[in-house]
A = this chain, B = another copy of it.
């Protein structure tokens, strides 16, 4: 014999979750792609040889809907038994976009997850409300900048952090390229920058958080996070494209760390840049970040040096806040391209529920960093935002 006849599959609850894909091609091609997804993402086995019974009826994905969109693409809604995704995020990612990631013309658009699946995930520990409580700012966008350029000593970076915090920034993060280089080793940098921000907070009475980058060797990330916490860091920056989404999830779930997580989009940009393949902005920078515990999701803002459109940025905002059971909304954190002229449009797209990242512009405005921060902070004050509306 080759395979058992009609094997009973143990542990099936009948609960299913849905993933929405966009497919290219004509009707027959779209149907073939949808059917292929149901197999490739589950049994990965010739359909005609798949055993009858539970495997065919429940384990193989199911096409719930296939319809043509105005754009000419096809929307396939495919459901999977929650048990296929195992109990963990790693296998969940494998089911929603594993092997089919290698097939052009399939784009994962959106996830629709029932409580039975969401119950496995804690999501953002702080979320928008929790981060606001930490910085004690409730009625305006939050403002963040990065310590850079790479090459500066820890003392110089700490001095910059102090000047930033004195100006009133809410969040100061390491540039994602600051790691454990000889010119600014991780531990020294974290100690000095955290101390500098604490000193500024004492002077201002504000509650600026410092978020060091802990995109580090896999076997050291948890220890780095604890070191950062003990040194006074107020949050953590990590790149899930490099360390894996579940590493970020483990960090968010770690009660011994208990810090808000800012997610950086380095390395996996190829997942969004081809409009017909990969993962949508909505799912990648919104839904997946929340499943993996990010409290703030960085991505390139429209009008900056990357190519994201206003609509793509709006979809990210939706992904960070659309209902996902008990999972808290996280902050969209658009980076780059902030100028005084753009504040009205940014306000229209983001409102107040946003973390703005401002980088080079903060250094360009004048030679006084603290004065520059104050200038940009004025741009996002409630009275200005109301006046612009």
* Interfacial residues, chain A to chain B (CB-CB below 8 A): 1-4, 7, 9-12, 36, 40-46, 49-51, 54-55, 58-59, 83-84, 86-91, 93-95, 97-104, 146, 148-153, 156, 160, 175-177, 179-183, 215-219, 222, 239, 241-247, 249-250, 265-274, 277-279, 300, 305-307, 359-360, 363-364, 367-369
Contact = CB atoms under 8 A, between A and B. Distances in A.
A277 B273 contact: yes
A317 to B, nearest CB: 18
11 contacts: A3-B156, A12-B182, A40-B305, A42-B150, A83-B183, A89-B217, A98-B177, A103-B307, A104-B307, A273-B277, A274-B274
Contacts of A88: 179-180, 216-217
Given A59-B149, A90-B179, A99-B265, 4 more contacts: A11-B182, A218-B250, A243-B244, A270-B277
A81 to B, nearest CB: 9
Contacts of A40: 305
Given A93-B267, A270-B274, A360-B46, A149 B182 contact: no
A90 B242 contact: yes
Contacts of A242: 90, 93-94, 98, 244-246
B268 A268 contact: yes
A176 B83 contact: no
